[in-house]
Structure 1
Amino acid sequence: MVGREIFQSEVKKVEELIIEMAKKAKEQLTSAVETLYNSDIERAEKVIEADKQLDSLDFEINEAAILLIARQQPVATDLRRLVVAIRVSSDLERMADNAKNIAKSTIHLGKDHGIEIHKSIAEMKEIATKMIDLAIKAYENEDITLARKLGDMDDMIDGMYSSMLRELLEETATNPQKIQHIMQMAFSGRYVERIGDHATNVGEDVMYLVKGESADLNE
């Protein structure tokens, strides 16, 4: 291989790791929310343990991208592609951290908390997983049309979270003895909402990669 082909091959490996990481982050979110509804402490502990795999992938992606920048000294689109890879990896790692935090809330609540988990968390999760899929598809194809759709989806999650939070705050007034448990549910909703934010960040990174300028998809 000539130098250019080697560089492109190494960049492709980094991008494949990002796609693998996105798949794992989505699996973590789904598992974590299921543990919350099922009060599945054992599975929640596995979600927390599995987060280490995503931390390792994030480190591997960062190391590979930084090494390519140092060795190849790329410019223009090539440099943006590596910078975006680092940024996308960071957002995926934070998505996984939020999924881990949901699992921690499951453990904090315990098996016999006696409250019904708000349906909005599952509904928000469904949108968030679709956002992860869409964000990575936009990243793979460098598709700004797909990336732009993430802003509207994020607004949907934000609205659902705000409505849920109002309802939960009202519930604390009528069930003050359950306030700690209700707050863990509120935290879990917030973690899902944050995952939507990070998926939107990936969309903004795609805009930067393609157009070479920053964008705010929530404007």
Structure 2
Amino acid sequence: MDEKHTSMLDEKMRFFQELLIQMVNRVEESILLAHAAFSNHDEELAKKVIANDWFIDQLQEMVENDGVRLLISEAPYGHYMRHIIAGMKIVSSLERMGDHAAHMAKMTRGEDFPRFAPFVQRISEMALLGATMTRRAVEAFIDVKAEKAIEVAAMDDQMDRLRDELNRDLYALKPETEQEMERILNLHYLTKEMERLGDHVTTICRWIVYMEKGQRPKLNGPKLQNPAIPRV
């Protein structure tokens, strides 16, 4: 590949990365807005989150289409090819994260049972953790830093702990009405949705490691210690 071709490919890669970063920003915004809508019982804000999910889907399609064009027309090699493949995989996880934010927004209520207020707050904290993980993951993506990605993936252990504690306390509740039973089930479902945010970010982090190292190790819990990933 000559110098002129490489320069043109670099420019196209910057556009590809910018599209992906725009999608990350949209997803992070949706999670934060869903958190605010859910914790503050703001149904109007929830509608904005649901509407934003359409734009996230469009950005996913744009990234995937641009990635396919690059693979076909540019015949990229080495780190270029890994970057494109990782980006096309990452947007799938981002799209699902946008769905989880939209689901959280759909469970926003103008009023709620007072006894469930602590659970709403704790689920909202899981959403904030998911947003934090998302932001740190994109920083690792921009810098193409495997070690940063591994550190972000380790945060999923905290998300799992929050899920387990919430499920334990939700199961201990004794519903007094059919409406309370329905709300408990919905909160349990939403707890699982928020935990999935951490799983998706972990998947993204695996692809970031692939970008730099050429391998996708299992990232979670104790396995993160000294992963010994060779550069390929």
| Whole-angstrom CA distance in 2 between matches of 1:86 and 1:175 | 48
**8 Å CA contact 1:69, 1:79 repeated in 2:** yes
Q: Secondary structure at the match of 1:2?
A: helix
Gaps of 5+ in 1: none
Q: Match for 1:112: what amino acid?
A: E
After TM superposition, the score normalised by the length of structure 1 is 0.92
Sequence identity, in percent? 25
**8 Å CA contact 2:28, 2:134 repeated in 1:** yes
**8 Å CA contact 1:36, 1:117 repeated in 2:** no
Whether 1:175 aligns to 2:176 is yes
Q: Match for 2:86: what amino acid?
A: V
**Mapping for residues 189-204 of structure 1, pairs under 5 Å:** 189-204=191-206
**Mapping for residues 140-219 of structure 1, pairs under 5 Å:** 140-171=142-173, 173-175=174-176, 177=178, 178-218=180-220, 219=223
Q: Match for 2:176: what amino acid?
A: N
Q: CA deviation at 1:120?
A: 1.8
Whether 1:92 aligns to 2:94 is yes
Q: CA deviation at 1:85?
A: 0.8
Gaps of 5+ in 2: 224-232
Per the alignment, do residues 36 and 117 of structure 1 end up closer, same or farther by CA in structure 2, a change over 3 Å counting? farther
| Whole-angstrom CA distance in 2 between matches of 1:104 and 1:126 | 17
Q: CA deviation at 1:26?
A: 0.8
Q: CA deviation at 1:111?
A: 2.4
After TM superposition, the score normalised by the length of structure 2 is 0.87
| Whole-angstrom CA distance in 2 between matches of 1:211 and 1:113 | 48
Q: Secondary structure at the match of 1:11?
A: helix
Equivalent residue for 1:112? Answer: 111
**8 Å CA contact 2:24, 2:134 repeated in 1:** yes
Equivalent residue for 1:3? Answer: 5
Equivalent residue for 2:43? Answer: 41
Q: How many residues align?
A: 215
Equivalent residue for 1:133? Answer: 135
